[in-house]
Structure 1
Amino acid sequence: MYIPNTTWTWAFLGTTLVQTLVVLAIEVYIFVKFQVSLRDDLPQIPESKTIPTYLTLFIFGFLYQLVLVWDSLRLKNTIQVIGLCLYNVGMLIYASIQFDQVDDAIRFLKGKTPPYINANDTLWSDVKPLLLAVPCIIALFTILMSFVAWKLYDEFAWTIYKHISADLRMKRRFLTFQIYIALLKFDFFFFLGFTVQFLVIVSGKTDSELGLTIAAIPITILILFMAAFWTRRENKFGMIFTIVLYFCGSAYFIYKLARMYQLGHEEPYKPVRKNLTSFASITILLLILTITNAFICMFNFNKGLKQHVMKRKIGDDDQEKLGPGMDNTTELPNLKPGHVPVSSRMTID
């Protein structure tokens, strides 16, 4: 539960918290506005589910980001802090796509016979300024987060040095491990985002396809947890099994991406094709990076890294000795007359 009590850690947490509150307030207003304008006496169609699904996923994305921010600061994981800035860029892209997707959905629902939204309804004119404001707000906070992340990188550098020592090869191994664990956490969100949109909006799914897709969610969560578990314990069999599953996942997303644009099969995907394309593309890219780092992590097994990564967080052993709520700073020597100070500096091999 402990996070470093420093200016920049609280600045990073505060920046993401303010962004989340502002964006969520806007998204909740748009969600309520749409639900009020939508006629409830007509049967549900995929286009009527698009806007609630976009907004719900958007809300979950920012709440998940807050969890990752707390996790990054707790672990003093600079790689994950940098990854959160890139994650914010991904949310910025999603917000930009959301503008066109909401516009298309409202136009379609107004043009239906009978219309799902009355032609004289002011829904679009009411939400348009807010949909334009969201990407601008996220862009501003992305700049602020990047600046604070740069400061945190310098702040955590000394802590990592104390944790790993001056061994450059060990630092590289630890860096690869941090990247791998961070990628697993981002994989989860983009996989879940793609799957939820596919399940809720895309029509024409067979029972077997629907069942397999639903079952894939808990299985994927378990695989990601086990991937981190096997890496920490340097289990080669588990890593090989996980890498095979990564390749299967990549093949699945490539297949779905091609299927969305295949003649004769593209119609069910049209209401959400832009969003699914962005989520599938990002997931494929993340899986390629995850597979690459998984191989590197496996090659680093049995080279002395295990004792470092098995700790709950950087500096964990020092914190336990000092007790909760105390900082693991270097103790000043006793300067009383007659006392010979003992050097506690680290020996650099």
Structure 2
Amino acid sequence: MYRPKSKHEWIFCGILGAQALIILAIEAFILAEWQLWVHPNIIQITASYIVPVESAIMFFACIYVFFLSLDAVHHRNNMLLLAICVSNACALAFSILLYRNMKETINEMPSQRDGMNQPLVDPERNIWTLIQGFQIASPIFIGLCTLATWASAFQLQKEYAWAIYRSVQGDSDTRSRYLTYEIYLVLNKIAVFFIICFVLQYGLIDVHFEQPEFGLTMGLLPVTLLLMILGFYVVRLERKFLMTFVIVCYLAMIAYLLSRIIILYGHGIRANTAGKDMMLLFAITALVLLVLTLVCSIRCFVNFGHGLKPIIAGKDEKVRDSFHFHSIGGHAPFPIEHTNGRLSLA
């Protein structure tokens, strides 16, 4: 695993690492209290999956953003820094919705009974008083981390700007193609996260093991991951046939998300589900990101054969060399032969 090197890299990754650890502790405590509160017969209702699934997604969001931060500082990718900050803001919105959903679920559970008229939870135990403080602390902590990551990312982008400029030799056309490539990679990584979150919620809570839709829905998880990996591979090697296949897959995924959004907004059985607002949040965000990914993938396809491939192949070494040049101490002597020469950015 790549280790940060500069002070701002350590700060940026450290903030997101601390966020992941704290959220893990909070969600683990909430899940432990939930398991002590519910009875085994709670699995008879769909609502029993809401709290475990949403808690797992909350932690997954934080740990995924943390690993993205390591990827961003490893490749010195300014676009990914921005995407991480935006994604963390989305995690903040999710944590706020999670507070409301948790409160509504806990208030409804004590009055529900199974087929034998047995309670689904321990009516003598007031779980909300135990976890309310943690549910409030989660969005507050994520909000503070989000503000801190924005400030840290601003410092990092200034460090990386010169390195990125040097890696593409300052040519305007090459910079434009390189920027399209970087945006495509970033959108691909972020879209996958929102698709996974939607599929988990929709499959486990709404579809709830009803075959064959449940199997087909959960099958999208490995397909989405494979599509992301294939997208990275073909755009680096400029394989037009495989890139055409990837673009067709993006269109199919967009059509699927559109159909699920229409269903959730409709009046059928699937529209009457718990956690509907969160499903729509993830589905709509994933749809927007996929459309943007599709546009960038087409732009990358058009750019194949225009000299970007060798730059991408050697980009890591060039960016690192440029970055180290940028970070030389300010007291280093200036070469004598360049004293009267013009500054060259080539």
**Residue 313 (structure 1) shift:** 2.3
Q: Please tell me whether residue 102 in structure 1 is matched to residue 102 in structure 2.
A: yes
Alignment of 1:98-137 (within 5 A): 98-113=98-113, 114-137=118-141
8 Å contact from structure 2 (residues 49, 205) kept in 1: yes
The residue aligned with 1:276 is 279
**Residue 118 (structure 1) shift:** 3.0
**Residue 240 (structure 1) shift:** 2.0
The 1:307–1:345 alpha-carbon spacing in structure 2 relative to 1, beyond 3 Å, is: farther
The 1:264–1:341 alpha-carbon spacing in structure 2 relative to 1, beyond 3 Å, is: closer
The 1:343–1:17 alpha-carbon spacing in structure 2 relative to 1, beyond 3 Å, is: farther
The residue aligned with 1:181 is 185
The residue aligned with 1:201 is 205
- Structure 2 length normalisation: TM-score? 0.89
8 Å contact from structure 2 (residues 164, 319) kept in 1: no
The residue aligned with 2:264 is 260
List alignment gaps of at least 5 residues for structure 2.
none
**Residue 193 (structure 1) shift:** 0.9
**Residue 207 (structure 1) shift:** 2.1
Deviates more, 1:170-179 or 1:306-315: 306-315
Corresponding residue pairs, total: 339
8 Å contact from structure 2 (residues 51, 102) kept in 1: yes
**Residue 85 (structure 1) shift:** 0.2
8 Å contact from structure 1 (residues 89, 139) kept in 2: yes
Once residues 341 and 66 of structure 2 are traced to their aligned partners in structure 1, the CA distance between those partners, rounded to angstroms, is 38
Q: Which amino acid aligns with 1:300?
A: N
The residue aligned with 2:301 is 298
Alignment of 1:1-349 (within 5 A): 1-3=1-3, 5-113=5-113, 114-203=118-207, 206-266=210-270, 269-311=272-314, 313=316, 315=318, 318=321, 327=324
Identity %: 26
1:115-160, CA deviations, whole angstroms, 9 ceiling, x for partnerless residues? 3223332211221222122112111111110011010010001111
**Residue 11 (structure 1) shift:** 0.9
Give the SS at the match of 2:212.
helix
8 Å contact from structure 2 (residues 180, 300) kept in 1: yes
The residue aligned with 1:323 is none
Q: Which amino acid aligns with 1:68?
A: L
8 Å contact from structure 1 (residues 110, 119) kept in 2: yes
8 Å contact from structure 2 (residues 4, 13) kept in 1: no
Q: Which amino acid aligns with 2:146?
A: T
RMSD: 2.6
8 Å contact from structure 1 (residues 333, 342) kept in 2: no
Deviates more, 1:234-243 or 1:153-162: 234-243
List alignment gaps of at least 5 residues for structure 1.
320-325
Once residues 340 and 40 of structure 2 are traced to their aligned partners in structure 1, the CA distance between those partners, rounded to angstroms, is 75
- Structure 1 length normalisation: TM-score? 0.88
Q: Which amino acid aligns with 1:292?
A: V
8 Å contact from structure 1 (residues 53, 197) kept in 2: yes
Deviates more, 1:209-218 or 1:10-19: 209-218
